[in-house]
Amino acid sequence: MQNDQALTIGTDILHQQGRMLDEQRWDDWLNLFTDECEYWVPAWTSETRLTQDPDSEVSLIYYDLRSRLADRVWRVGSGQSVANDPMPRTCHFVSNINVDECSDSLIKLFSCFRVDYHVNKKSDAFFGHYHHELTPAADGNGWQISKQKIIMMNDYIPTMMDFYLV
């Protein structure tokens, strides 16, 4: 696996992910992840330190199964959550994509994100860094996300944050 080939694969997945979330194509978005994926938004414990261990420290979001993400997706579309009614409109931007490591079985990526959103006549944004690990898809068709770590820089949260806002 060449670096530029990994960059093409990674860039495509990250751009797809942003677009799927913006277009609320939730099932497509879930299919980007492996069954046993780790989805982790660590919390800050001070201005400079992030939580390091999701099992002994409290994260903002932590799941180690895609089915947990599916719960959240269901909630958003259920009509039973006032926090998601009306749904914020979102714009995902991903840039500065770096390949940190690549082989035929693993691609590690770093990137920067910003998600602007608008709801109830107000606009705001979340921004930070993504760390991704991609592995070949189980069906042999392309690559899937096996780890997605989201470091959210602005963690003074106005009202709420959900998976589609980072």
Residues that bind other proteins (CB under 8 A): 41-47, 51, 54-62, 67, 71-72, 74-75, 78, 80-84, 120, 155-162
Residue with tokens 């993504």: 130
CA angle (20, 25, 30) in 5-degree steps: 80
Judged by beta carbon, residue 68 or residue 108, the one nearer other proteins is: 68
Nearer to other proteins, 23 or 71 (CB): 71
- 151-156 contact pairs (CB < 8 A, 24+): 151/41, 151/42, 151/50, 152/41, 152/60, 152/126, 152/127, 152/128, 153/127, 153/128, 153/129, 154/125, 154/126, 154/127, 154/128, 155/43, 155/44, 155/60
**Smallest distance from other proteins to CB 79, Å:** 9
| Cβ 101 to other proteins shortest distance, Å | 27
User: Which CB, 141 or 156, lies closer to other proteins?
Assistant: 156
Q: Please report how close the Cβ of residue 75 comes to other proteins at its closest, in angstroms.
A: 4
CB-wise, 4 or 85, nearer to other proteins?
85
C-beta separation of 147 from 131 below 8 A: yes
CB 137 → other proteins: shortest distance, Å?
25
